[in-house]
Amino acid sequence: MSSEKKTVVVTGGAKGIGKAIGKKFVEQNNRVYLLDNNEKELKHTQSEFQRAGLPAEIFTVDVTDTNEVKKVFEQIFDQSGSLDVLINNAGIIRDNLFFKMQEEDWDAVIKVHLKGAYNCCHAAQEYMVSQKWGRIINISSASALGNRGQANYATAKAGIQGLTKTLAIELGKFNITVNAVAPGFIESDMTREAAKNLGISFEELIADKAAAIPVRRAGKPEDIAEVSWFFSTEAASFVSGQILYAAGGPKA
């Protein structure tokens, strides 16, 4: 399987980290399917990839819809004949201090991150088990350790880590590894939105965050793409149930 072209599914693939991950896997000559609920952004990304000579297929899907996810994964398997790598990256933020947080903000974040990951893992594992090979890579966050104004997001990302470790235990006997990447501060559309919510410029937010990171820079989506790629390779075949913090070093 190591030298074969793999079928790779990336959720939240229209922009940011998901887009960078998709690009990395296409560059490595894989069949890549980008999934997102934003059809316009998906088509834009697909066109951008095509102009660069990087073919990728797209599916508009709501990862919280169980039946919709199952149908899309069936289509992907029917088209490609395999389903080898799943990157669960779909996510949203609804940041606020806990005493100000609304129930709908809590529910929305938990649903996208946790039910979305459940739906995609549940759909993918069927194919991976039958072919006795698979790689599941979940995108968690350093915020899983706790972060002011992100009770919902931190809880969801901590849940992703628990799911990762449990699936690693259950699926390992089928030659399926399950790992997670926990990004620190990454320059992305999501953190740009966070800056807007804070009432500061994106540049100010980047400078503030970078000053507290040991390597003295903010992360890029490409940093997470590289780690995700590693987890999919044979070099990482004895690595499972691990959470890799790609955050530029621990907080002082």
Q: Please identify every residue annotated as catalytic.
A: 153
Name residues whose C-beta falls within 8 Å of residue 38's C-beta, 6 or more positions apart in sequence.
Answer: 14, 15, 60
Residue 180 sits at φ, ψ, to 5 deg, of: -135, 145
DSSP strand E in 132-208: where? 134-139, 176-183
Which run of H or E residues covers position 60? Answer: strand 57-60
How many C-beta neighbours within 10 Å does residue 158 have? 17
Angstrom distance (rounded) from CA 20 to CA 227: 11
Angstrom distance (rounded) from CA 104 to CA 102: 5
Helices 39-51, 16-27: crossing angle, 10 deg rounding: 30
Name residues whose C-beta falls within 8 Å of residue 44's C-beta, 6 or more positions apart in sequence.
Answer: 14
Q: Is 163 exposed, middle or buried (0-12, 13-18, 19+ CB in 10 A)?
A: buried
For residue 98, give the DSSP letter.
G
Nearest to 228 by CA among 15, 1, 20: 20
Helix (H, G, I), strand (E, B) or coil at 90: coil
How far, CA to CA in Å, does 43 sit from each of 40, 48, 53, 82, 232?
5, 9, 15, 24, 26
